[in-house]
Amino acid sequence: KKHGVPLYDGTIFHRVIPQFMIQGGDPAGSGMGDPGYKFKNETSPDLTFDRPGRMAYANAGPDTNGSQFFITEVPYPSLNGGYTIFGQCDDAAVELVKQIARMASDPRSNRPFRPVKINHISIVKAGSTEAAPKAAKPAPKKPATAAPKTPPGNNP
C-alpha cells in the first residue's frame, strides 16, 4: 500500500513480450514510474528462472527495485542473479500469463494495444488455507507481434 491505498490495484501490464515475460506494477502506467522508494536486490542461488511463472522485481540496474515486477512466460536462465524473485504462479496463472504475453502490442514499446488491468492483488502466504481469488478471463486475443527480448526494467 502507498498512502493507505493498495499500490497495484488498477495498474496495468505495460509491457508484454511473447516467449519472455509480462511486466506491470508501475503506478504511472508508463513503465517509467516508481513508488517513491528503492530497495536492494535479494537473490539466492536456490531461486532461479528455471520455470514459467516466476515473479520478480524489474529494475534499472543493481539495487534499484521498486514496485515494478515481471512474470516469466518461459524459463529464462539468463536473468538468474540479476533480479529479486519473490513468487511463483500456479498452473492456472501461468496459462493466463501466456495469454497476456501473446496479446497484440506496439512493436516499439511492447505495450498491449488493449490495456490489461490488475483489479486486485492478494498476497497469500505459502501453506495458507486462505483461498486466492480466481483470475478474470482475458479479452479475446489478437495476433501477437514479434518484439526484441530486452531485460525487464524501468523503461517504456
- Residue whose C-alpha is closest to residue 68's, from 109, 101, 116, 36: 36
Number of domains in the chain: 1
Residue 156 lies in a domain: no
Q: pTM higher than 0.85, yes or no? A: no
Task: Please give the pLDDT value at position 24.
Answer: 97
Residue 150 lies in a domain: no
Residue 31 lies in a domain: yes
Residue 114 lies in a domain: yes
Residue 117 lies in a domain: yes
Whole-number Cα distances in Å, 88 to 33, 39, 112, 145? 24, 20, 23, 26
Which amino acid belongs to residue 93? A
CA-to-CA distance for 151 and 27, rounded, in angstroms?
20
Task: Please give the pLDDT value at position 117.
Answer: 96
- Residue-wise pLDDT for 52-98, tens only, equals 999 999 999 999 999 999 999 999 999 999 999 999 999 999 999 99
Residue 154 lies in a domain: no
Residue 57 lies in a domain: yes
CATH of the domain at 30: 2.40.100.10
What range does the domain containing 107 cover?
1-144
**Cβ-proximal residues to 131 (8 Å cutoff; 6+ apart), any chain:** none
Task: Please give the pLDDT value at position 154.
Answer: 62
- Residue-wise pLDDT for 17-38, tens only, equals 999 999 999 999 999 998 989 9
Residue 7 lies in a domain: yes
Average pLDDT, the chain: 86
